[in-house]
């Protein structure tokens, strides 16, 4: 399979297809620390990143924000003392698109340094 963290997001239309169950299973293998959750009827990718303190968590969230702005694809981020919860999904289609897996992989790369 291709290296997701090396890929860029594609422009997503409101009629873009959501990933199928088989695609989702294959893509999750590339981002194994992420889980699929359903919130408000929409499937999303979620991961909790841990840090030594609030300042490190906030700095990471800002790096994710910079990445999101550069790609035009934005997550939900919850910053707390020592952790950041990130959720990726595609708002236009109300669920998961390949872009979300790309951004999850790129978020992992930011956390790895």
Domain that holds residue 39: 19-112
**Residue 95 scores a pLDDT above 90:** yes
Digit-coded pLDDT (tens) for 31-85 = 999 999 999 999 999 999 999 999 999 999 999 999 999 999 999 999 999 999 9
Question: Is the pTM here over 0.85, yes or no?
Answer: yes
Check residues 91 and 7 and name the one with the higher pLDDT: 91
- Residue 14 within a domain: no
- The answer to whether 67 touches 110, Cβ cutoff 8 Å, is yes
CATH number at 35 reads 3.30.1360.20
The answer to whether residue 6 sits within a structural domain is: no
DSSP codes joined into one string, 20-86 = PHHHHHHHHTTSTT-EEEEETTEEEEEEEEE-SSHHHHHHHHHHHHHHHHHHT---EEEEETTEEEE
Q: pLDDT tens for residues 97-108?
A: 999 999 999 999
Number of separate domains in the chain? 1
Pairing of the two strands 83-88 and 76-80: antiparallel
DSSP letter for each residue of 44-56: EEEEEEE-SSHHH
């Amino acid at each position: 399979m291709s290296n997701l963290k090396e890929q860029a997001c594609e422009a997503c239309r409101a009629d873009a297809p959501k990933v199928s169950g088989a695609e989702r299973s294959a893509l999750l293998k590339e981002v194994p620390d992420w889980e699929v959750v359903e919130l408000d009827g929409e499937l999303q990718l979620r991961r909790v990143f841990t840090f030594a303190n609030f300042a490190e968590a906030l700095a990471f969230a800002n790096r994710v924000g910079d990445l999101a702005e550069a790609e035009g694809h934005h997550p939900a981020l919850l910053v707390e003392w020592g952790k950041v919860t990130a959720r990726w999904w595609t708002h236009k289609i109300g669920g998961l698109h390949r872009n979300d897996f790309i951004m999850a992989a790129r978020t992992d790369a930011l956390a790895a340094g």
